[in-house]
Amino acid sequence: MPSNPIATLTIAQDLLRCPSVTPADAGALGVLQRLLHDAGFDVHRVTFSEPGTADIDNLYARIGTSAPHLCFAGHTDVVPPGDQAAWSHDAFAGEVHDGLLYGRGAVDMKGGIACSVAAVLDYLAANGGQPKGSISFLITGDEEDVAVNGTVKLLQWVAERGETFDHCVLGEPSNVEALGDTIKIGRRGSLSGTLVVDGVQGHVAYPHRASNPVPDIAALIVALGAEPLDAGTDTFQPSNLEFTSVDVGNPATNVIPAQARAKFNIRFNDRHSAESLQALIEARVQTACGNRIRARVEWLPSNAGAFVTRPGAFTDLVVAAIAEVTGRSPELNTGGGTSDARFITHYCPVIEFGLVGQTMHKIDERTPVADLETLTQIYRGVLQRYFA
Ligand SMILES: [Zn+2]
């Protein structure tokens, strides 16, 4: 059998030529379905619905029935291209210029998916068509928007079939400057709220007959920023509360307003849950209020808790594969925003490793073709070690 049945670049170009801006699939999952079916995978296309959201197409494919079970996860949907006239090359043509593959999704994350599929097909071709265990692909079309009909439901669907995963590699663009510099082993959680201070409206000339919420909310903002939420952990930076706007909505200069509101977001580590943080912040607000200030916090629902995959045999194996191909020793990082790994972590240990993220979501999103080859070799090395 050929050692490389299908080139990574060809798969990436076929995916990029499907304009799969969330919630559209535009044929992207079909590209994977054909390749995986032909390689002997049991392929399922599953559509999920939720009132008020678009129906979303998803794909789950597995080869093998025994443990260990390694899953490659990802998303074929992409963010909109923005001003298409500003692109140097068509956002949905999958063109290569000067060794760079252009297109929306080139790094986030159709390129990463192409690398994992090519690596798996190559591994199977070299091993009689069957892994010593199971390999699966968990691919959604709903990551970049509300993410309610994607990975979170597909994981439930797989669990209801009685299937379990042992480990998962999510191919999001984890690297900062160069391929092999960063593995994401966890993410901080995210929680948003609004601090509301109620005063008493009145004329500025008669402040004793009013209660001004403006200095009061300023005092509470200072108080909440004065005490750290924690000191960080061995794998996470300290949790951080950041105020993002203060609003009074008062057009007049001679009226003391009735209410002031301040929005904030907290990025938190695994010392906290959303619930424990809410209790902590509300207690600190009440302490700062004393008996005088009337304040409360309105919370937005959060589905993004903090999680970490502790360094160990699995991360060591990925680090070794990266070092062998690139010579780099990756940093194990927990920074950045959220991803579907926050759902996968409830089912099995998950790490994120993909392409270099510099151009993701930007005009002229692109990846060096050489990086596609390198990432394919790294995933190939992961498979070799995992099933050794
Ligand atoms: Zn992504």
Question: Is 144 part of any known ligand binding site?
Answer: yes
Give me the residues near ligand 1 (ion), CB cutoff below 5 Å: 108-109, 172
Residue with tokens 């790094």: 107
pTM of the model: 0.86
Contact (CB, 8 A) for 344 and 82: no
Q: What pLDDT does 348 receive?
A: 98
Burial class (CB in 10 A: 0-12, 13-18, 19+), 242: exposed
Q: Map residue 42 onto helix, strand or coil.
A: strand
User: How many residues can be counted in the chain?
Assistant: 388
Distance (angstroms) between ligand 1 centre and the Cα of 328 equals: 23
Contact (CB, 8 A) for 263 and 213: no
Structure tokens at 130: 């069957």
In this structure, the number of other CB atoms found within 10 A of the CB of residue 300 comes to: 11
DSSP letters along 204-247, please? Answer: TT-GGGSB-HHHHHHHHHHHHHHS-S----SSSPPPEEEEEEEE
Distance (angstroms) between ligand 1 centre and the Cα of 382 equals: 21
Please give the Cα distance from 12 to 92 (Å, whole number): 11
Please give the Cα distance from 83 to 94 (Å, whole number): 17
Structure tokens at 31: 């590209």
Distance (angstroms) between ligand 1 centre and the Cα of 110 equals: 9
Instruction: Name the nearest CA neighbour of 192 among 106, 281, 124.
Output: 281
Question: Is 172 part of any known ligand binding site?
Answer: yes
Distance (angstroms) between ligand 1 centre and the Cα of 330 equals: 20
Distance (angstroms) between ligand 1 centre and the Cα of 236 equals: 22
Q: Map residue 343 onto helix, strand or coil.
A: helix
Q: What pLDDT does 2 receive?
A: 39
Please give the Cα distance from 359 to 205 (Å, whole number): 55
Task: Give the β-pairing of 189-198 and 259-268.
Answer: antiparallel
Structure tokens at 187: 């993410």
Q: Is 5-187+306-386 CATH 3.40.630.10?
A: yes
Distance (angstroms) between ligand 1 centre and the Cα of 75 equals: 7
- 67: Cα within 13 Å, side-chain hemisphere: 5
Contact (CB, 8 A) for 358 and 182: no
Task: Give the β-pairing of 255-256 and 186-187.
Answer: unpaired
Regions of the chain where pLDDT drops below 50? 1-5
Q: What pLDDT does 301 receive?
A: 87
Burial class (CB in 10 A: 0-12, 13-18, 19+), 32: buried
Give 174's DSSP letter. Answer: -
Distance (angstroms) between ligand 1 centre and the Cα of 128 equals: 33
Residue with tokens 């959680």: 189
Question: Is 373 part of any known ligand binding site?
Answer: no
Structure tokens at 316: 């060591």
Contact (CB, 8 A) for 215 and 223: no
Distance (angstroms) between ligand 1 centre and the Cα of 351 equals: 14
Q: Map residue 252 onto helix, strand or coil.
A: coil
Structure tokens at 378: 């790294």
- Exposure letters 163-195 (e unless 16+ CB within 10 A, then b): bebbbbbbbbbbbeeebbbbbbbbbbbbbebbb
Question: Is 208 part of any known ligand binding site?
Answer: no
- Phi, psi values for residue 63, rounded to 5°: -125, 135
Q: Where are the alpha helices (DSSP H) in the chain?
A: 8-16, 28-38, 110-126, 151-160, 213-226, 274-289, 313-326, 341-344, 369-386
Instruction: Name the nearest CA neighbour of 380 among 330, 329, 317.
Output: 317
- Residues with a catalytic annotation lie at 77, 143
Contact (CB, 8 A) for 143 and 77: yes
Instruction: Name the nearest CA neighbour of 126 among 325, 384, 324.
Output: 384
What is the second-level CATH architecture of the domain 189-299? 2-Layer Sandwich (3.30)
Distance (angstroms) between ligand 1 centre and the Cα of 248 equals: 37
Q: What pLDDT does 305 receive?
A: 86
pLDDT in tens, 263-303: 999 999 999 999 999 999 999 999 999 999 999 999 998 87
| Domain edges within the chain | 5-187+306-386, 189-299
Distance (angstroms) between ligand 1 centre and the Cα of 359 equals: 12
Question: Is 331 part of any known ligand binding site?
Answer: no
- For 37, the enclosing helix (H) or strand (E) is helix 28-38
One fold for both 5-187+306-386 and 189-299? Answer: no
Please give the Cα distance from 343 to 360 (Å, whole number): 22
Structure tokens at 136: 């699966």
